[in-house]
Amino acid sequence: MSFTIHGIGVSGGIAIGHAHLVSHAKLETAHYVVPPHQVPDESVRFDTAIRAVREELEEVRAGIPTGAPAEFGAFVNLHLMILNDSTLSITPRKIIEDEQCNAEWALKVQVDALLARFDEIEDAYLRERKADVIQVVERVMKALAGQPGYIPPPPRADGEGNLILVARDLSPADVVQFKRHQFASFLTDLGGVTSHTAVVARSLNIPSIVALHSARKLIRENELVIVDGTQGVVIVDPDAPALAEYRLRLREFDLERQKLRRLKHTRAATLDGVHVELHANIELPGDVAEAKDNGATGIGLFRSEFLFLNRADLPDEDEQFEAYRKVAMDMEGLPVTIRTYDLGAEKRSNGTDPRTPNPALGLRAIRLCLTEPRRFLTQLRALLRASHYGKINVLIPMLASSVEVDQTLSAIQQAKKSLEEEGIAYDPGIKIGGMIEVPAAALALGMFTRRLDFLSIGTNDLIQYTLAIDRTDDAVAHLYDPLHPAVLSLLSHIIKTAEKARVPVALCGEMAGDVMLTRLLLALGLRHFSMHSAHLLDVKQQILRSDLGQLKPLAGRMLRTTDPGKLQVLLDELNS
């Protein structure tokens, strides 16, 4: 019997294949007493499991294909660091010895205690990584059960060779490992739009759906499934007409992708000749190659905080300078917009204090930078020094008030002055911009257009703060709505106000890479998009097929309606 499950599509496209269910080892385990003479053996068993998982993760790291998104390595390193922390790799041994219990029980006791006091433990790194700790412990449990690593199922004899991975949740390290087994899609019960798995799946361009809630219960091993990552729909055990329809769509989709490659060097302009700037979002310098390969004419958002993550120390001025200079030089004179570190909410480095009751509303982004002038100055000096080697723009995250801009500008002045005193060159014409991602900033835009050279709209946060929806919480992920009338109205207001003030404005949130929203954004007046490289050619194609003259009246009607049904009809009309 065919049926459909709905989730949140985090990476578009279609996959047809057979389900392979991955069961994660539960953190539930039996307790048994180990006779004294066998305690040393039990300790050795524990050490062996830790070593096996370490080797497993190191193998995953070594197997990361060259040119894979930089997040991969960072995520695997994170899991290795958790594993190597003495709380997990040493303390359970002591429990085995003290309590004369089995290794699984010792690990469980230690992890339970750890998770229970998660918010208070001293190690900032572990505190922030509850989900990652669980994933690492699950690996150790598996290793203890004598089944380390992942054993792929045998290839199928029938024509439908694709495997669709169905899991409760996946760690990024799992995704890297599974990638090598050529899964055609990832389906998970948990996860939000911005979960690690979603980020990795999106950058791999594999159709994937998260927050399916009960896929693992409803889908049986080997069952035929269709994944429509664009719609966020899974069709289980499809009937013949549905299968035929999706096979056709899949062939069309593959052909489209091949054709898209030809657009790499095509100038992005609408049918009526309006030029649009298409830039790439990157996390680390290594991502530049993919951006160029997809025809990016600049880097619109370098999330510099990724240089600060997954490490015990902080990158010093020289290390940062080298990273920024590399990106600027690799882009060969094309603009590179580097955001000052946006740490403090879900992204945290070792030096930041995470004990805040509501991180998204707490000391994050520019608020945090301004409370730690030394660290901020280090970054500003590195950015200015690198600006001598290419076209660097500096972007300030999460501005809400004019005081923040003034303080930031004076910190930049201070950094310039210190470089001048040392005779170090920087680009005197370097542009400073601000991210508009707080509704207050959007509504009082004049405070920013008067003080800054350019703006960039961060819709991921703008939507979070406008709709009061935690973007990392899968329980409210379905309420995350870029088409909410309040969001559209804010976007229109920002773009129009900036245009009037003659201040360039870009959009660098996930909306920029959503091809279903390209025409709407064009019609609202947006001329500068920045997105993950994987989406650049899709969006370019949509621009090339768009006639602005025709789009504007429809977008005007969209702005005037508050009926979600009508909005969808108008959007469909806009995209037809």
Binding residues for ligand PEP, rule: CB under 6 A, are 301, 303, 342, 437, 458-461, 508-509
> Structure tokens of 21?
């269910």
For residue 543 the two structure tokens come to 């621009």
CB of 493 to ligand PEP, least distance (A): 17
**What is the dihedral angle through the alpha carbons of 263, 268, 270, 276, rounded to the nearest 10 degrees?**
160
- CB of 462: closest distance to ligand PEP in angstroms? 7
Q: Pick the stretch among 10-18, 179-187, 444-452, 457-465 that binds Mg ion (CB under 5 A).
A: 457-465
Long-range contacts of 502-506 (CB under 8 A, 24+ apart): 503/449, 503/452, 503/453, 503/454, 503/455, 504/453, 504/454, 504/455, 504/528, 505/436, 505/454, 505/455, 505/456, 505/457, 506/277, 506/279, 506/300, 506/337, 506/454, 506/455, 506/456, 506/457, 506/530
What the block records as the tokens of 255 is: 């052909």
Instruction: Give dist(CA 94, CA 97) in Å, integer.
Output: 5
Q: Going by C-beta distance under 8 Å and a sequence separation of 6 or more, which residues neighbour residue 521? A: 491, 507, 511, 512, 529
Q: How far is the CB of 395 from Mg ion (least distance, A)?
A: 11
Nearer to ligand PEP, 204 or 462 (CB): 462
Burial label for 544, CB within 10 Å (0-12, 13-18, 19+), is middle
Toward ligand PEP, which CB reaches closer, 75 or 246? 75
Closer of 234 and 507 to ligand PEP (Cβ) = 507
Residue-by-residue DSSP string for 506-519: EE-SGGGG-GGGHH
CB-wise, 169 or 510, nearer to ligand PEP?
A: 510
459 binds, among Mg ion, ligand PEP, none (CB under 5 to 8 A by kind): ligand PEP
Place of tokens 């945090």: 368
CB of 530 to ligand PEP, least distance (A): 8
Residue 116 in contact with residue 134, Cβ under 8 Å? no
User: Residue 198, CB half-sphere, CA atoms under 13 Å: how many?
Assistant: 23
Closest by CA position to 137, among listed 114, 156, 119:
114
**Using the rule CB under 5 A, is 458 a contact of Mg ion?**
yes
The one of Mg ion, ligand PEP, none whose footprint includes residue 320, by CB under 5 to 8 A per kind, is none
Binding mask 416-445 for Mg ion (x = CB under 5 A): ---------------------x--------
How crowded is residue 161: how many other Cβ atoms within 10 Å of its Cβ?
A: 12
Q: Does 305 bind Mg ion (CB under 5 A)?
A: no
Give strand pairing partners of 208: 11, 186
Choice between 5 and 435, CB closer to ligand PEP: 435
CA 566, distance to chain mean position in Å, is 31
Residue 303 binding partner per list Mg ion, ligand PEP, none, with a CB distance cut-off of 5 to 8 Å that depends on partner kind: ligand PEP
Q: Which two tokens stand for residue 310?
A: 């997954």
Is the Cβ of residue 56 or residue 305 nearer to Mg ion in the bound state? 305
Contact 526, 495 (CB under 8 A): yes
Would you give the binding string for Mg ion spanning residues 381-420, x where CB under 5 A is met? ----------------------------------------
CB 464 within 8 A of CB 360: yes
**Element holding 465 (H helix, E strand):** helix 459-467
CB of residue 301 vs ligand PEP: minimum separation in angstroms? 6
Q: Which does 95 bind (CB under 5 to 8 A by kind): Mg ion, ligand PEP, none?
A: none
CA separation for the pair 164, 267 (Å, rounded): 37
Any idea which residues carry the catalytic annotation? 196, 508
CB of 464 to ligand PEP, least distance (A): 8
SS3 assignment, position 212: coil
Contact status, residue 510 vs residue 460, Cβ threshold 8 Å: yes
The count of other CB atoms within 10 Å of the CB of residue 16 is: 21
Tell me the number of residues near Mg ion by CB under 5 A: 3
Q: How far is CA 223 from CA 163, 206, 219, in A?
A: 10, 20, 7
| Nearest CB to Mg ion, comparing residues 300 and 458 | 458
Nearest residue (CB) to ligand PEP, 191 versus 238: 191
Could you say which of Mg ion, ligand PEP, none residue 508 binds, taking C-beta under 5 to 8 angstroms by partner kind?
Answer: ligand PEP
Element (H, E) at 260: helix 240-260
Nearer to Mg ion, 341 or 389 (CB): 341
Q: Is 461 in the site for Mg ion (CB under 5 A)?
A: yes
User: Nearer to ligand PEP by C-beta: 10 or 83?
Assistant: 10
Binding partner of residue 203 among Mg ion, ligand PEP, none, CB under 5 to 8 Å per kind? Answer: none
HSE-CB for 418 with a 13 A CA cutoff: 15
- For residues 116 and 109, what is the distance between their CA atoms, to the nearest angstrom? 11
Residue 234 near which of Mg ion, ligand PEP, none (CB within 5-8 Å, type-dependent): none
Binding site for Mg ion (CB under 5 A): 437, 458, 461
